[in-house]
Chain A
Amino acid sequence: MSEKRFASNASIALIYRDRAQSYRRFVGQYLRYVFSSGFALLLGGLGMAGWYYYSGWIRAFPADFPLAWLALAALGPIWAFCPQRGYLQRADLVFLLPMEDRMPQYFRPMLIGGTVRQSIAVLVVWLLLYPLDRLYEAERGYDVNVLFFAAAAVVFLALKTTLYWGAFKERRIRSERVRRVFQLVRWGLAFVWGYTFVALAHSWWVLLVAGTAVLYMILLRLPARDFVHWERWVRLEQAAMSRTYTFLNAFVDLPRDEEKALPARSWLGFLGDGLPLRRERAYEYLYIKTLMRSDLLGLLFRQCLVFAALETLSTSLWLKVGLLAAGVVMTGAQLKALEREHVRVHWVHVYPLPEEWRMTAAVSVIRRAHAVCVLVLGLPLWWADAAPAAPLAAWVAGLGFVWLSSWRFAVRRR
């Protein structure tokens, strides 16, 4: 009996491994398109430029640098961000639901693999932060040695594991509102831990994190929860696949037939609503709404934010301009994926609208969204110590690039 049970548990874990492997195979077959597009080169260039800038910065580390805020910005997200791929599908509501009691075995590879991968990310961030912390503490007369590095790494990994398990338990909470509160608590804790790591004496910090982590784990036991919240796992999987498609679609044209549960983003609902009820504006309306609700918007927002932050932090005007250019190229590449939306949708062949209107509308929406990205990416140049002509010129050049690339894109697609 026990042997049979063991075999069943092993097979349910195998389902997870098979699905994870299929996903890796699916993404893997398109990676060559991603790399051949110059994306890897761009990432490599950015990495090298970042490293060059970082090592130069360490050498001239300003004594009054607010390291606590940097620790908050670097450690907070890496602790709080706990992606978990369950690969659960709608059909599992029929086929796996009867085996619910064995689902912990299904999730085990995810939990172990996820903890290991994310712990490595924490260690990388700590490795980058450590030299700065050492300089910062030395300024204040404290000696920070390798033993401290190792001890801190152990605590950091314990905190990561706590939040990772917390995120897993969050997914079981029945009420959506309560789950959101716990999500907020997880992010809040991570930011507080990051900031206080530098701001507090180490002994006090250890007490604080130990106390709050225990309290967090106790609080997580309180809300009503399901053994497995199936619907939520399915929704999360759909969202994750949707993000994968959005990313890959920027480099290769992928068919996409699955149904998506997209966020309403009602705060952006006004976009497009002012368009007149005219046939020639119908596709424009469709593409504005698509951009507004797609993963692409989040992706663009994050890209703009990262590049704008890097521009703000960099001291050289040329580096700022280089980052601006990289940001403009990357956001443009991502935006092109918008045109591939609705190409295979049944309805565009049923509506009484000519196909060429679809293309024109898509390019027009892409152009306007890209122009907004250029304006946002150029903003940090305005508060740099440079003549006003420089940011103005950057904006004009960026908008010129947008116009030219959208024109070339439209010509190629025709």
Chain B
Amino acid sequence: MRAILELENVTGGYSVGRPVLHGVSFSMKPGEMVGLIGLNGAGKSTTLKHILGLLTAHEGTIRVGGVTLQDDPGVYRSSYAYVPESPLLYDELNVSEHLRLTAMAYGVGNEAFEERTKRLYKAFQMEDKQRAMPGHLSKGMRQKVMIMNAFLSEPPLYLIDEPFLGLDPLGIRSLLERMVEMKRAGAGILMSSHILSTLETYCDRYIVLHRGRVRAQGELRAIAESAGLPDGRLEEVFFRLVQEEGSS
């Protein structure tokens, strides 16, 4: 099966002289949910920014849907949806207009748009907020709008950065249900989060980033073995991996 996301030996960051990422390599197949974990400053958000094309890798290649951003920006960008850590909304558009803009940008048809928005409003309990402007929404609600936009376009890859911040318990449940649904439909999901217990429940594989390098990757059993804790929980394994590195 062809990888939906491939990073080959990516070195990059904000300035060439001080790279944040050092030779990062991993790939994702369709229908996989992968947890990207690491301490603050490990390079998770920088990795996502490179995948999004907001930062250019100093070295290495990034492919989404088999193409690089330079090969075919249209195919590359329409292959993923992104949920950032902090909600980023247009101040000038209300909730329903954000969804409409996303539908236009991704070429979602009228019928699919009507059906999906109805479902998303209900799932995230935002039916009465359709005309609300971002300035009048709480942080959690703004995050819900971001998530709804991501799920509206139904792309083959989801890039989700710390999605649970500010979400209420129902919002978290709706998000996780939707992710499982999309995964079953064949989408790949790369999710960065510090809530390790949730990642352990839902993710198939993990990539542990530490100081800009991939410290370990694979299924829980594989990374647990590499940490010397064959039956360890994700949290224990993660601590061991980053502490070992830190103390060495």
Contacts and interface: CB of A to CB of B under 8 A. Distances in A.
Contact of B92 (A262, A351, A352): A262
A259 B52 contact: no
Interface residues of A, number: 33
Interface string B89-105: 01111100100111111
A286 interface: yes
Interface stretch (B10-18, B128-136, B161-169, B192-200): B128-136
A277 B117 CA distance: 14
B54 A352 contact: no
A285 interface: yes
Contacts of B107: 277-279
A312 interface: no
Nearest to B75: A352
Contacts of A286: 90, 92-93, 101
B53 A349 contact: yes
A260 B74 contact: no
Interface size grouping (class) on chain B: 35 or more
A353 B105 contact: yes
Nearest to A235: B135
B101 to A, nearest CB: 6
Given A262-B135, A275-B104, A350-B77, A289 B91 contact: no
Contact of B82 (A282, A341, A350): A350
Contact of B94 (A261, A264, A352): A264
Contacts of B91: 259-262, 293
Which label, helix, strand, loop or mixed, suits the secondary structure of the A interface? loop
Which label, helix, strand, loop or mixed, suits the secondary structure of the B interface? helix
B93 A289 contact: yes
Contacts of A282: 101, 104-105
B52 A352 contact: no
A277 B77 contact: no
Contacts of A289: 90, 92-93, 97
A266 interface: yes
A277 B99 CA distance: 11
A279 B131 contact: no
A180 interface: no
A406 interface: no
A285 B92 contact: no
A233 to B, nearest CB: 15
A345 interface: yes
Contacts of A264: 94, 131-133
A25 interface: no
A83 interface: no
A290 interface: yes
Contacts, number: 91
Contact of B103 (A259, A262, A277): A277
B135 A349 contact: no
Nearest to B84: A346
A11 to B, nearest CB: 32
Interface string A166-184: 0000000000000000000
A275 B78 CA distance: 21
A354 interface: yes
A264 B135 CA distance: 10
A2 B246 CA distance: 55
Given A260-B135, A264-B131, A349-B54, A278 B90 contact: no
B106 A352 contact: yes
Contacts of A354: 73-74
A354 B74 CA distance: 8
B54 A346 contact: yes
Contacts of B106: 279, 351-352
B78 A352 contact: yes
Contacts of B82: 350
A90 interface: no
Given A285-B101, A285-B104, A293-B92, A350 B52 contact: yes
Contacts of B134: 259
Contacts of A277: 100, 103-104, 107-110, 113
Given A293-B93, A346-B88, 11 more contacts: A261-B136, A262-B91, A264-B133, A277-B103, A286-B101, A289-B92, A293-B133, A350-B77, A350-B82, A353-B77, A354-B73
16 contacts: A259-B134, A261-B91, A263-B133, A277-B103, A278-B104, A279-B105, A286-B90, A289-B93, A289-B97, A293-B92, A293-B133, A346-B84, A350-B52, A351-B106, A352-B77, A352-B106
Complex A-B, nearest 7 residue pairs according to Cβ-Cβ distance, in ascending order:
A261-B135, A352-B77, A352-B78, A282-B104, A351-B105, A260-B91, A290-B92
